[in-house]
Amino acid sequence: MKIGIYDPYLDTLSGGEKYMLSIALCLQDDHEVVIFWDKAKEQEIRSKAKERFGFDLEKIAFAPSLFSKSVSFLTRYNKSKDYDLLFYLSDGSLPVVACDLIVHFQSPMLWLKGRSLKNRLKMRRIKTVICNSNFTKSYVDKIFGIESKIVYPPVSIQGRYQPTKKERIILNAGRFGINWAGSSFKKQDILAEAFARLYTEGLKGWKLVFVMNVKDDALSAVDDLKNKYKDTPIEFVLNPNNRDLWKWYEKATFYWHAAGFAEDVTTHPDRAEHFGMTTVEAMGVGAVPLVVGAGGQKEIVEDQKNGRLWNTIDELIRFTKELILDDKKRELLVQEAVKSSDSYSLESFNKSIKDLIT
């Protein structure tokens, strides 16, 4: 089959982009796969995907997007006849095409009028809707009145748990940007505050490491965070390649994550972590996760079995202190965390994607 893949945020190369590019890699050997993007930026995407994710896209073609605003409805519809199937990451929109269409929702979108006549008619033309977690699915199904399918993101663990490699490091990895309220999207500022409190309360010999994907327009905000905590052992690693990211995972004893903290996720579910790929990656090499008990993180972390769920800064600090002092408890969580990460394997993802198109 000839299969097209579209992700409107491809240049950000974040979790959703890793998901969509993984679909392309899954299908490239048995099908003709085309990624829709600006041809002038093709090499940039190929290079960054290799550096960021370790993805080799050489077997995959690029073509001008059918979904550009400059492409008319009629042109898009007619050109889609050249394809057997399209995968489309929705930014809230639902396209009308002539071929089979699989739509992926990466996050809840409560603002959508999913049951409007227009969207109901569009939904009838869609072959399948897939979501990255039960959290996202619960909202998408309610909004559109459908039964979507869960295809968890693929997590390929590039290493193994080795106790001798662990250092006194608390790690957080993810995109950095400033939200509508002036806080960071992933709440790195909250984690810095929590660690500063730990440090002033006597925690010595440990450091917090932020591994961040940062665009140029957010660099000044990173500098502000650095300056605020310049006297605290916090390290900032910006835009690392895939190899260096995994080195940090392997060294980290704890993995902190704060997306969704202090948010009303019932009203604003988009502000919670919709799945948590970095959490699973960290767990796979034995970093104990301490994550906010909201969104898709609750599907990954079972409190006191393979990690800890927290909802206040006081809880995060207390749980971290307890695990630092209790080697036996920490090791039990490590073993369960490693085991749990196997549930989100690349093999499982590939099977789910291939089953969708048969």
Q: pLDDT tens digits for 75-121?
A: 999 999 999 999 999 999 999 999 999 999 999 998 899 999 999 99
Q: Give per-residue pLDDT as tens, 66-79.
A: 999 999 999 999 99
Which pLDDT does position 184 carry in this prediction?
82
pTM of the model: 0.90
How much is the pLDDT for 358?
Answer: 86
Checking if the pLDDT of 181 tops 80, the result is no
Strands (DSSP E) found in the chain: 2-6, 32-36, 61-63, 85-89, 100-105, 128-131, 149-150, 169-176, 207-214, 234-238, 254-257, 288-292, 308-310
pLDDT at 180 over 70: no
3-state class (DSSP) for residue 358: coil
Rounded Cα gap, residues 91 and 59, in angstroms: 27
Measure the CA–CA gap between 242 and 248, rounded to whole angstroms. 10
Strand partners, 150: 131
Sheet holding 85-89, edge to edge: 61-63, 32-36, 2-6, 85-89, 100-105, 128-131, 149-150
**Residue 280 pLDDT level (bands cut at 50, 70, 90):** very high
